[in-house]
Amino acid sequence: KTEEKTVKCTEVFYFLKDQDISILSSSYQFAKEIAVACSAALCPHLRTLKSNRMNKIGLRVSIDTDMVEFQAGCEGQLLPQHYLNDLDSALIPVIHGGTSNSSLPLEIELAFFILENLSE
Protein backbone atom coordinates (compact mmCIF):
# COMPACT_ATOMS: atom_id res chain seq x y z
CA LYS A 1 0.00 0.00 0.00
CA THR A 2 1.21 3.48 -0.84
CA GLU A 3 -0.41 6.82 0.02
CA GLU A 4 -2.43 6.83 -3.20
CA LYS A 5 -2.69 3.20 -4.35
CA THR A 6 -3.15 -0.30 -3.00
CA VAL A 7 -2.22 -3.56 -4.69
CA LYS A 8 -4.39 -6.47 -3.62
CA CYS A 9 -4.13 -10.16 -4.44
CA THR A 10 -7.73 -11.14 -5.12
CA GLU A 11 -7.52 -14.67 -6.54
CA VAL A 12 -5.21 -17.67 -6.42
CA PHE A 13 -5.58 -20.56 -8.86
CA TYR A 14 -3.86 -23.92 -8.44
CA PHE A 15 -3.27 -26.01 -11.56
CA LEU A 16 -3.22 -29.61 -10.37
CA LYS A 17 -1.63 -32.29 -12.53
CA ASP A 18 -2.36 -35.78 -11.22
CA GLN A 19 -1.85 -34.62 -7.64
CA ASP A 20 -3.86 -35.22 -4.54
CA ILE A 21 -5.92 -32.17 -3.64
CA SER A 22 -4.44 -32.34 -0.12
CA ILE A 23 -1.34 -30.48 -1.43
CA LEU A 24 -3.41 -27.30 -1.43
CA SER A 25 -3.09 -26.89 2.32
CA SER A 26 0.72 -27.02 2.13
CA SER A 27 0.71 -24.67 -0.87
CA TYR A 28 -1.37 -21.99 0.84
CA GLN A 29 1.54 -20.50 2.80
CA PHE A 30 3.75 -20.61 -0.30
CA ALA A 31 1.11 -18.73 -2.34
CA LYS A 32 0.85 -16.16 0.44
CA GLU A 33 4.62 -15.61 0.41
CA ILE A 34 4.56 -15.23 -3.38
CA ALA A 35 1.72 -12.67 -3.11
CA VAL A 36 3.58 -10.63 -0.49
CA ALA A 37 6.83 -10.64 -2.52
CA CYS A 38 5.03 -9.66 -5.73
CA SER A 39 3.14 -6.86 -3.98
CA ALA A 40 6.36 -5.51 -2.47
CA ALA A 41 8.07 -5.54 -5.87
CA LEU A 42 5.16 -3.74 -7.55
CA CYS A 43 4.59 -1.12 -4.82
CA PRO A 44 7.16 1.40 -6.13
CA HIS A 45 5.48 1.19 -9.55
CA LEU A 46 1.79 1.43 -8.62
CA ARG A 47 1.27 4.96 -9.93
CA THR A 48 2.95 4.18 -13.27
CA LEU A 49 1.17 0.86 -13.67
CA LYS A 50 -2.21 2.44 -12.93
CA SER A 51 -1.59 5.39 -15.27
CA ASN A 52 -0.66 2.90 -18.03
CA ARG A 53 -3.98 1.11 -17.42
CA MET A 54 -2.33 -1.99 -16.00
CA ASN A 55 -4.88 -2.32 -13.19
CA LYS A 56 -5.13 -6.11 -13.22
CA ILE A 57 -1.90 -8.10 -13.20
CA GLY A 58 -1.57 -11.84 -13.42
CA LEU A 59 1.40 -13.79 -12.06
CA ARG A 60 1.94 -17.45 -12.92
CA VAL A 61 4.60 -19.43 -11.06
CA SER A 62 5.63 -22.84 -12.39
CA ILE A 63 7.94 -25.15 -10.46
CA ASP A 64 9.15 -28.64 -11.28
CA THR A 65 12.17 -30.68 -10.24
CA ASP A 66 14.33 -29.20 -13.02
CA MET A 67 12.55 -25.90 -13.75
CA VAL A 68 11.48 -22.73 -11.96
CA GLU A 69 9.85 -19.87 -13.84
CA PHE A 70 7.30 -17.12 -13.54
CA GLN A 71 5.42 -14.93 -15.96
CA ALA A 72 3.71 -11.65 -15.12
CA GLY A 73 1.47 -9.71 -17.40
CA CYS A 74 -1.61 -7.68 -18.04
CA GLU A 75 -4.29 -8.34 -20.67
CA GLY A 76 -2.30 -11.02 -22.47
CA GLN A 77 0.96 -9.04 -22.61
CA LEU A 78 4.05 -9.56 -20.47
CA LEU A 79 4.91 -6.67 -18.20
CA PRO A 80 7.76 -4.44 -19.43
CA GLN A 81 11.23 -5.71 -18.54
CA HIS A 82 11.99 -3.22 -15.75
CA TYR A 83 8.96 -4.50 -13.79
CA LEU A 84 10.02 -8.09 -14.45
CA ASN A 85 13.52 -7.33 -13.14
CA ASP A 86 12.07 -6.10 -9.83
CA LEU A 87 9.76 -9.11 -9.67
CA ASP A 88 12.71 -11.41 -10.38
CA SER A 89 14.67 -9.96 -7.46
CA ALA A 90 11.70 -10.36 -5.11
CA LEU A 91 10.29 -13.68 -6.27
CA ILE A 92 13.28 -15.93 -6.97
CA PRO A 93 14.42 -16.13 -3.30
CA VAL A 94 10.83 -16.88 -2.21
CA ILE A 95 10.35 -19.50 -4.93
CA HIS A 96 13.61 -21.25 -4.15
CA GLY A 97 12.89 -21.12 -0.42
CA GLY A 98 9.39 -22.50 -0.88
CA THR A 99 10.20 -25.40 -3.16
CA SER A 100 11.53 -27.48 -0.29
CA ASN A 101 8.18 -27.25 1.50
CA SER A 102 5.82 -27.92 -1.40
CA SER A 103 4.87 -30.85 -3.56
CA LEU A 104 6.22 -30.75 -7.10
CA PRO A 105 5.25 -30.04 -9.78
CA LEU A 106 3.42 -26.92 -8.71
CA GLU A 107 1.77 -24.29 -10.87
CA ILE A 108 -0.18 -21.39 -9.40
CA GLU A 109 -1.58 -18.17 -10.77
CA LEU A 110 -2.33 -15.08 -8.73
CA ALA A 111 -4.43 -12.11 -9.80
CA PHE A 112 -3.62 -8.65 -8.45
CA PHE A 113 -5.66 -5.45 -8.70
CA ILE A 114 -4.33 -1.94 -8.27
CA LEU A 115 -6.90 0.20 -6.47
CA GLU A 116 -7.17 3.89 -5.68
CA ASN A 117 -7.14 4.73 -1.99
CA LEU A 118 -10.18 6.77 -1.00
CA SER A 119 -9.42 9.93 0.91
CA GLU A 120 -11.48 10.65 3.98
Annotated domain spans of the chain: 5-115
Give the strands of the sheet with 106-116, arranged side by side.
5-14, 106-116, 56-64, 67-74, 77-78
The model's pTM:
0.85
User: How confident is the model at residue 102, as a pLDDT?
Assistant: 61
How far apart are the C-alpha atoms of 5 and 116, rounded to whole Å? Answer: 5
Average pLDDT over residues 97-107: 71
* Cα→Cα distances 38→25, 89, 113, Å: 21, 10, 12
The pLDDT of residue 70 is above 60: yes
Contacts of 91 (CB under 8 A, 6+ apart): 34, 37, 38, 41, 61, 70
User: How confident is the model at residue 76, as a pLDDT?
Assistant: 92
User: Which of 25-29, 30-34, 64-68, 87-91 is least confident?
Assistant: 25-29
User: How confident is the model at residue 87, as a pLDDT?
Assistant: 96
Query: Residue 108: enclosing H or E segment and its boundaries?
Result: strand 106-116
Q: How does residue 119 score in pLDDT terms, banded at 50, 70 and 90?
A: low
DSSP state of 28: H
Q: Does domain 5-115 have CATH number 3.30.500.40?
A: yes
